């Protein structure tokens, strides 16, 4: 067998072994509460969400479902931060960034609002 053939074979085996896999999962509700303590089902209002987090990434069902993009932040030692889309600064849970999340790290905060415009359910969807 030639060295070149052996190299290709070794590379293929290594690639098969090293090929990563990222699956869509939900962050544990307790961890969501720890990271975003102000969001509480049945208590937090839509107005508070918009004032603290800015414009959502997406809206569904006449804005009764809002989504925000969350990135893992290298400078926050891997903690998730929400992309701040508000035009002005101020103290906020969102972190201003112009750098888009890498494809494999596009985590989402999903907020489902009830008829009273309070958060009814929420989750953080992770791509990991």
Where do contacts with other proteins occur on this chain (CB under 8 A)? Answer: 2-5, 7-8, 11-12, 15-16, 19-24, 26, 57-58, 60-61, 65, 67, 103-104, 106-108, 110, 112, 121-123, 125, 127
Q: What are phi and psi of 112, to 5 degrees?
A: -105, 120
Q: How many CA atoms lie within 13 A of 23 on its CB side?
A: 3
- Kindly state the smallest distance separating residue 91's Cβ from other proteins, in Å: 27
Surface-to-core class of residue 20, CB atoms within 10 Å of its CB (0-12 exposed, 13-18 middle, 19+ buried)? exposed
- Kindly state the smallest distance separating residue 25's Cβ from other proteins, in Å: 9
Closer by beta carbon to other proteins, 81 or else 108: 108
> What tokens were used for 52?
């603290």
- Kindly state the smallest distance separating residue 108's Cβ from other proteins, in Å: 4
Q: Are 8 and 109 in contact (CB under 8 A)?
A: no
Closer by beta carbon to other proteins, 3 or else 88: 3
């Amino acid at each position: 067998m030639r060295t070149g053939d052996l190299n290709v074979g070794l590379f293929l085996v290594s690639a098969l072994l090293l090929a990563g896999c990222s699956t869509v999962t939900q962050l544990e509700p307790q961890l969501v509460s720890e990271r975003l303590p102000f969001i509480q089902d049945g208590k937090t209002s839509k107005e508070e969400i918009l004032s603290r987090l800015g414009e959502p990434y997406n809206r569904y069902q006449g804005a009764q479902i809002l989504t925000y993009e969350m990135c893992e932040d290298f400078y926050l030692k891997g903690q998730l931060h929400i992309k701040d889309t508000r035009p002005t600064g101020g103290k906020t849970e969102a972190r201003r960034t112009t750098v888009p999340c890498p494809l494999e790290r596009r985590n989402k905060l999903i907020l489902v609002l009830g008829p009273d415009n309070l958060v009814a359910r929420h989750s953080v969807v992770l791509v990991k």
